[in-house]
Structure 1
């Protein structure tokens, strides 16, 4: 969208019911307003004002469908090192749900705006901003900044530019899952074309990214999913992405799994996003000296490591959190930009697509939250502003 068209959009006022919110929303997602009321009726994602933002706010921890409200917030004044960003699209991720429930390891001051990931467009910059400019597409570097809103003022250091020649859904889902997959494939074992990795939660956003990035590098993937009514459809979709094998968790405990390793080498690397028995089964199939990397725990059960795997196979147990990686590399601008550029190159080449997505209008956020918490839902919910 051209800058002059953005200026026209800014001049429009969103027709809203009165709100008692009289103060600003800080760049760290802290809502500084007293007595703000939820919006009534429908809102249009095509309109917003330069002074107000429509946001999904929670004022206490609990079940998302019960504590998240659509509210109007006053935008703070633009400072020298900040930028006004119109949010375009933002996913609903498991970490978002955990934050709202109060179970995520990063505590936020309440009330807070939901959402940790998404893409926006810069509408205005402060006088000292150097790394972004008007018209840029941007994603957020850190967690807890709040992306479920139509507009926000962010500090320049929290923004990372991304190319606008990739799809909106690819940009909105670029900063977490593909980065997690890329780093896990790069940082723990030296992999070569023809090697094998094994993973559970293969239909997750991370799992889909692992499949595609590995396939682009000539690495085979053994992908574990839970049994479900649409298993064959899911299998076909993952194989179309480049999955070598897609098997049910139950098959990991059956003799036919050995037939796979007559054709392909045993995995050097395992990715665990589930925990519990599923993680234990991954360990059993690692080659001697291999590594299991845990990045999630959907089963909410501890990882049990067989003594035999430690003594006789000398497996390594590691963990990975992409938020910490970004923080550790915050002052190395090249580390993140080089990774994002490589991912965007794969996207442009048609080798890395966005995960299965369902777009949901912001006013229908309850539908997105409910679907994000249902089992066997392979489609990521994307709030479109």
Structure 2
């Protein structure tokens, strides 16, 4: 009996996993404190939340590394999640399983997160039905993964601040950014001319060719904004009614010199980390209007009007179907090699968006 008394606990421990299902797991890029992403992010094996009645089990397919994601990890963004947190706020996933009370989604659907912070840099997640938006499955994966931030930002800035007509023009800096590339394509589809400002760089002509191939009408460097040759440009295209600013500092001031009377400038980023300086003459003699735009806040304002958000996404998907809107230049990186993606995303003159592929 003594022999069997010692064996029984071992036997019970061996059989226990067979009678109770093991908790579902997920690989995720987690940070427990703020700091430089390469130092604070860790790829961890996590227990996945239970599905419950209202949950949606999503298998993430691909998720980009955006500047806002980096700033959030650094602790410098306007919206910060509770720690520990999973990185990433944009991406596309496929529904695997739904809770018994979920009505708007079904297994196999492609979904994108509506709002930040959500934590898309992981293989699987259980999210609420209300935090997800269904999108068509017949668009390219990279278009889907990069749909909810940059193209939406471009779409709203072109639609909400000036009533633009075919033949009108706009000017934008950081034209090679994800938003800038989307602005070029959406504007071209609407018949709006674009003047696109970029920083000088070693591969300048290669970048000019790429932006022109997207539909850019004119590409100029920041230095060219200050030269008399700009007067010749405005013999071919009307002065812009709308300026889109993602840089700040001198680049912004120089763009304002070329804006039309009673024109509008919208600031949605500050890559130069310098303040927006506006000449007094722009206010007094041109009566320009200055606005800020934050896509996250716009989405929060639509909580009672989800149809407006859905309509915008479907319009963008229609442009994708027509070949008028493509994903930005992307580099796909396996999740396990996330350090490579982080390093590349923070490198100067980077024009390729890093996409973590799950």
TM-score range, shorter chain: over 0.9
Q: Give distance in 2, aligned partners of 1:113 and 1:262.
A: 51
Consecutive aligned runs of 4 or more in structure 1 exceeding 4 Å deviation: none
- Alignment size in residue pairs: 337
Pairing 1:15-26 to 2, within 5 Å after superposition? none
Displacement of 1:130 in angstroms is 1.3
Q: CA separation in 2, counterparts of 1:66 and 1:377? A: 21
CA RMSD of aligned residues (A): 0.9
Give the CA deviation at 1:330: 1.8
In the TM superposition, 1:76-87 aligns within 5 A as 76-87=49-60
- Cα-to-partner distance string for 1:44-84 (whole Å, 9 max, x where unaligned): xxxxx981000001111111111111001100111211100
Q: Deviations over 1:130-156 (max 9, x none)?
A: 121111000000011100000000011
Deviation at 1:333, TM superposition (A): 2.0
- Specify every segment of 5 or more residues in structure 1 that has no aligned partner in the other structure, as ranges: 1-48
Q: CA deviation at 1:106?
A: 0.6
State the match for 2:333 in structure 1.
Answer: 360
Q: How does 1:192-207 map to 2 (within 5 A)?
A: 192-207=165-180
- Rounded to whole Å, the distance in 2 between the matches of 1:130 and 1:160 is 13
SS at match of 1:262: coil
1:366 Cα deviation after fit: 0.2
- Could you tell me which residue of structure 1 aligns to residue 204 of structure 2? 231
Q: In structure 2, what is the Cα distance between the partners aligned to 1:89 and 1:101?
A: 22
For 2:280, the equivalent position in structure 1 comes to 307
The structure that has the greater radius of gyration is: 2
Instruction: For residue 253 of structure 2, give the secondary structure of its aligned residue in structure 1.
Output: helix
* CA contact 2:245–2:252 (8 Å) conserved in 1: yes
> Which residue in the other structure is 2:97 paired with?
124
Please give the per-residue CA displacement for 1:337-372, whole angstroms capped at 9, x wherever unaligned. 111111011101100000000000011000000111
How do 1:262-281 and structure 2 match up within 5 A? 262-281=235-254
Q: Give the Cα–Cα distance (whole angstroms) in 2 for the partners of residues 97 and 384 of structure 1.
A: 18
CA distance in 2, matches of 1:74, 1:260: 59
Q: In the alignment, which residue of structure 2 is the partner of 1:330? A: 303
In the aligned structure 1, how far is the partner of 2:53 from the partner of 2:299? 24
Cα distance in 1, alignment partners of residues 234 and 98 from structure 2: 55
Q: TM-score, normalised by structure 2?
A: 0.93
Query: In structure 2, what is the Cα distance between the partners aligned to 1:227 and 1:333?
Result: 41
Runs of 5+ unmatched residues, structure 2? 1-21
> 8 Å contact 2:95–2:108 — kept in the other structure?
yes
